[in-house]
Amino acid sequence: MSTNDKVRIEKDSMGKLEVPSGSYYGAQTQRASLNFQISNLRFPRSFIRAIGAIKLCASQVNLDLGLLDSKLSIAIMGAAQEVMDGDHDSQFVLDIFQTGSGTSTNMNANEVIANLAIEKLGGVVGSREPVHPNDHVNMGQSSNDVIPTAIHIAALASIKNRLIPALTFLNSQLKEKSDEFMPVVKTGRTHLQDATPVRLGQEFLGYVGQIERSISRIEIACGELSEVALGGTAVGTGVNTHVNFSTMVCEKLSEILKLDINQTSNHFQAQSSLDSIVLVSGSLKTIAVSLMKISNDIRWLGSGPRAGIGEIDVPAVQPGSSIMPGKVNPVIPESVCQVAAQVIGNDTTITIAGQSGNFEINVMMPVAAHNLLESIDIMASASQNLAEKCIAGLEATTKGPEMVEKGLAIVTTLVPHIGYDASALIAKEAGETGESVRDVAIRRTDLSEQELDSILDPASMTQPLINE
């Protein structure tokens, strides 16, 4: 026995080990903590909540199946509920960069819950009596099915409860601006060059469509997350678990988490691959690309205020320069672009992780979990922030309407009347002389001023002009 009152001696299959006396985790967690001192990255709250939920429901089901004593089960469920509620997050001490199966973190949960249950029953923390982390808390389970299940549940909950609401709110703000800006006619742009007129509201309608489809894509991807690996135990065969265990646990998980969670139809696929996570990450990457496009457009449209495009005013939320007084930068869209870049990078990591399955298990589950859950979390926060602190306060300036009549691309509507080549010559002359297309067209065509006013009306160019 150690003479140091800051530690206690525990025993596992590898022998005795000193464990911090105030900890609820045990020897296996401590060994992993010593082995993997690599980063400051830890599993997030969403994952800890998910694994707590799995342990709670597993204990209840094992009781219902007559496999676990009621006194032990009730104590385990009480402890697991505390883990779910976040009362013991400080006890989850392990680095993301650990054993590829996540066994260390599964045992971290088993040991914390076991010791909490032991304490509730009046036992000695660390004794493994009367509650054993493997025999009781982990009954009917393996790290190989618990960890991928926890990833799916954590991601599904975060998407349903955080990301989709944030994207929905962002979409509502974009739709409001689209309606507000619909009367504003301005110069369209292709290749960063002037194009035919477009309504500012139509530009924003494009952003609305991007976010609508983003929501649809991630909702479809959630179907993949709803299927979980639990029940396959070590290699997918379900050895050492009751035939009804997984179905019953999934039913209870669905009930307490208010999510649609189902046992996979193919345990071998579910445990040997991260294909579902790769798919979900791909959807998140697509959303990130959309957010970056929207944010960069806002940056460009608000550029200036005098030497840029300046067709919208972006809300000023903080001083923009440490040296240039009065400078205000589009900091909110810039932050979204950085988040998008991170999500795209995370997807690359997840893609590589998905390729790292061999036979019956993937050995990059912890890093895949970290990157997936980080992507969901930061994109939800960024979307909400963009909507609240930027989109809601956007205002149209007069610069767009003022410049549209000076544009050369409005010559396009002359093509049905005088042909492409004649229209091109008018555009070229207007560009060289600095005149408007209308002024040159008065000289170079037989069209009356009234006809030209109608043909070259910028507002009319924002919709099809040729009827049957």
Catalogue the active-site residues.
Answer: 191, 321
Beta bridge partners of 199: 185
Asked if 38 contacts 103 with a C-beta cutoff of 8 angstroms, the reply is no
| Strands 312-313, 395-396: pairing kind | antiparallel
Q: Which of 132, 130, 112 lies closest to 122, judged by CA?
A: 130
Q: Which of 177, 174, 175, 195 lies closest to 186, judged by CA?
A: 195
Asked if 385 contacts 335 with a C-beta cutoff of 8 angstroms, the reply is yes
CA–CA dist 273, 363 (Å, integer): 9
The H or E element that residue 153 is part of is helix 143-158
Asked if 94 contacts 105 with a C-beta cutoff of 8 angstroms, the reply is yes
CA–CA dist 92, 356 (Å, integer): 25
Q: Which of 86, 25, 26 lies closest to 52, judged by CA?
A: 86
| Number of Cβ atoms within 10 Å of the Cβ of 54 | 26
Type of residue at 216 = S
DSSP assignment string, 83-135: HHHTTTGGG----SSS-TT-HHHHHHHHHHHHHHHHHHTT--TTS--S--III
Q: What angle do CA 316, 401, 435 make, to 5 degrees?
A: 130
Who's near 95: CB < 8 A, 6+ residues apart? 33, 36, 37, 38, 39, 41, 42
